[in-house]
Amino acid sequence: MVSTLKEILRDYRREQIVDVARRLFEERRSTDVSMDEIATEAGVARSTVYVYFSNRDELILACLQRMHALLNEAIAVAWSRDLDPVGRLRTFIRGMLERIDENPAFFRLAVTTARAAHDPTSAIGSQLALIGLDVTALLVDVITHGMETGGFRPMDPDRAANFIGIQLYGSMSIRADDPAPLPLDATADEMCDFLVGGLATR
Amino acid sequence: MVSTLKEILRDYRREQIVDVARRLFEERRSTDVSMDEIATEAGVARSTVYVYFSNRDELILACLQRMHALLNEAIAVAWSRDLDPVGRLRTFIRGMLERIDENPAFFRLAVTTARAAHDPTSAIGSQLALIGLDVTALLVDVITHGMETGGFRPMDPDRAANFIGIQLYGSMSIRADDPAPLPLDATADEMCDFLVGGLATR
DNA sequence: GATTAATCGGACGCAGTGTCCGATACCCCA
DNA sequence: TGGGGTATCGGACACTGCGTCCGATTAATC
């Protein structure tokens, strides 16, 4: 299986470059990490990078896919331990925020790139849409569960998930740009509080 | 007052270019509107643009300031006609979304640029912060009023305003990228509903 | 030791930004 | 009517980054 061995080698190389790229994106506050720098930092020639990634977008896509995998992992770990719907929601929110705190600059890059290359045929756009779908699906699960157990009022779970997803998106966008964000737990608690309790007198 | 006349002329020219830039940013889905294009479309030489704006960021800043003015205007018009706190909140949210619908591409540009030039000394960052402050101040007013009249439960108005601001930010970001957004009123109603009512059983 | 594949490194074209400067057209005033 | 000041033009320039290409070099394999 020569071809398989070659593929493994190829994947390994790709991973190597993606790791460096992720690190650089993390260190640097702005998107101006050039392909030159990534190559140099990875210890390869710039032209070699283009052997493994046809262009900058594809490299960013690979970084995104890696983040997606890590995100799923992190959330799966903390999933369904707490059976209280509000607790589940809080755990979920906290998990998302935590991931941002781990690598805010990369998240900024993802959002920026997504915005720049919004083309629906763009692979980056699709990848981000996939992540969004994952998040929404999990939220729908939490909400449906909450409605069944009576903690949440009757509503369209999809719309509610959309609403929460937007709050998460906004919060993450802002947090990723915040040099000194509020503590993780306090933020998650507060958000959960407002989401569940609403503004109105109870 | 020769100098004043000169300044008026200068302002007029600047406005002329800003108008063209705003229009181009509106028409084009991505940020790739070059200084060349803006100049050509405005019927001036590229070098002339640089007479009135020292660089691209300053031009974008001028566009932002114009948007800020329009935003204030639009919101002031619809302000305090409706005395019901929930109605005020809804009016406010609707006003913000409406402005996005009028010029989604420009909002995308603003966010993208803000992200790229996040430098705190950056004039663009400061301008966006100013807009954010305006929004927050108005929200604090709505919330405080709601708490006084008993419609809203007791809470920290600043934190609540922050929460709503994040929801708005997320919603506007996504809406600005959405080629076929949901109707304005339905979106505003739904957001208001979730914000006020919360998820929990009442 | 020869073949093959991966890598290097540098040159190239392209596009965009921002700078600079000489040429030109225009307006106002003498 | 002519001259001086000013705005504008337009194009050349340097610089940066992306993506392509290709010959040279290294290294692994048979």
Q: Which chain A positions have a beta carbon within 8 Å of B153's beta carbon?
A: 197, 199-202
B43 in reach of chain A (CB within 8 A) = no
Residues of chain A whose pLDDT is less than 50?
1-2, 118
Please report, rounded to whole angstroms, the spatial distance between the CA atom of protein residue B149 and the C1' atom of nucleotide C14. 64
What does residue A199 show for φ and ψ, rounded to 5 degrees? Answer: -90, -30
Grouping H, G, I as helix, E, B as strand and the rest as coil, residue A141 is: helix
Helix A184-197 and helix A85-102, axial crossing angle in degrees, nearest 10: 140
Segment among A159-163, B130-134, B191-195 with least mean pLDDT: B130-134
Question: Is nucleic acid strand C under 7 Å from B117's C-beta?
Answer: no
Give residue B1's pLDDT.
Answer: 42
Question: Is nucleic acid strand C under 7 Å from A198's C-beta?
Answer: no
Contact A116 B30 (CB under 8 A): yes
**Predicted confidence (pLDDT) per residue in B56-82, tens digit:** 999 999 998 998 888 888 777 667 666
Question: Within a 10 A sphere around the Cβ of B82, how many other Cβ atoms?
Answer: 13
Question: Is nucleic acid strand C under 7 Å from A51's C-beta?
Answer: yes
**Structure tokens of B42?**
């405005």
**Predicted confidence (pLDDT) per residue in B97-118, tens digit:** 988 898 787 777 777 766 555 4
Which of residues 45 through 84 in chain A touch B, CB cutoff 8 A?
A: none
Contact criterion met (CB below 8 Å) for B75 and B139: no
Question: Which of B86, B163, B170 is nearest residue A194 as measured by Cβ atoms?
Answer: B163
Give residue B81's pLDDT.
Answer: 60
Give residue A32's pLDDT.
Answer: 81
The domains found in chain B, sorted by start residue, are: 1-53 (1.10.10.60), 56-197 (1.10.357.10)
**Predicted confidence (pLDDT) per residue in A96-134, tens digit:** 998 888 878 777 777 776 655 545 567 888 888 888 899
Query: Which is nearest to A117 in space by CA: B32, B179, B174, B101?
Result: B32
Label residues A112-130 b or e (16+ Cβ within 10 Å = b).
bbbbbbbeeebbbbebbee
The mean per-residue pLDDT over the stretch B117-135 comes to 77
Label residues B97-131 b or e (16+ Cβ within 10 Å = b).
bebbbebbbbbbbbbbbbbbbbeeebbbbebbeeb
Q: How would residue B2 be classed by pLDDT, with cut points 50, 70 and 90?
A: very low
Burial of A44 (0-12, 13-18, 19+ CB in 10 A): middle
A190 in reach of chain B (CB within 8 A) = yes
Grouping H, G, I as helix, E, B as strand and the rest as coil, residue A200 is: strand
Q: How would residue B158 be classed by pLDDT, with cut points 50, 70 and 90?
A: very high
